[in-house]
């Protein structure tokens, strides 16, 4: 990690700039430009916003709740955020690897739990159960042996997760 200190600093700089600094300046700029170039030149709008301070207060009290609602809709009510997450999963091999590892561990743990419950109930594991565990073992072994952060093995596994679930 130390050898990438410059890129890490660049990443933090870009996030600090875009999330905080540019956001604040964009808000100030938008309020200033819209008031002095639009509202001041339209007499009927000056009745609603008699001064720049009135404009800021009204826009703040209307805009903040509106933007909160839009942000909520973005994350909870539209497919926009799900699409962003899908793209992130397709393009970020580290995030994809974490999901794939978790899925493999969960599937293996469920199979092991089934066997433990059967052995504790003095029930012999069926041939099908043992075959399923061997298939799962081979699948995970192949994945671990063949995947890298640069190939598409994790992405293939991730896209087929729903098809592979068999309990």
Give the HSE-up count for residue 158: Cα atoms under 13 Å, Cβ half-sphere.
Answer: 24
Closest CA to 101 of 46, 166, 158, 54: 158
pLDDT recorded at residue 164:
60
- Domain ranges in the chain are 2-78, 93-164
Instruction: List, for residues 76-117, the tens digit of each pLDDT value.
Output: 999 999 899 889 888 988 888 888 888 888 788 888 877 877
The CA-atom distances, in angstroms, between 139 and each of 38, 124, 126, 165 are 64, 24, 20, 12
Q: What angle do CA 28, 63, 38 make, to 5 degrees?
A: 55
H-type alpha helices, 17-165 = 22-37, 43-48, 52-72, 80-91, 93-120, 127-146, 153-159, 161-164
The predicted structure's pLDDT at residue 138: 81
Q: Which residues of the chain have pLDDT under 70?
A: 1-2, 121, 162-167
Q: How many CB atoms lie within 10 A of CB 132?
A: 17
What global pTM score does this model have? Answer: 0.58
């Amino acid at each position: 990690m130390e050898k990438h200190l410059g890129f890490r600093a660049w990443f933090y700089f870009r996030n600090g700039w875009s999330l905080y600094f540019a956001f604040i300046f964009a808000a100030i700029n938008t309020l200033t430009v819209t008031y002095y170039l639009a509202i001041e030149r339209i007499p009927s709008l000056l009745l609603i916003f008699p001064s720049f301070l009135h404009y800021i207060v009204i826009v703040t009290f209307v805009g903040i709740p509106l933007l909160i609602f839009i942000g909520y809709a973005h994350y909870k009510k539209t497919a926009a955020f799900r699409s962003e997450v899908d793209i992130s999963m397709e393009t970020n091999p580290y995030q994809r690897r974490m999901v794939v590892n978790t899925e493999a561990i969960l599937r293996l743990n469920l199979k092991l739990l089934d066997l433990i419950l059967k052995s504790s109930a003095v029930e012999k594991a069926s041939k099908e159960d043992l075959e399923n565990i061997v298939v799962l073992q081979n699948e995970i072994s192949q994945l671990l042996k063949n995947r890298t952060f640069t190939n598409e093995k994790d992405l293939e596994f991730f896209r087929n997760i729903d098809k592979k679930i068999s309990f």
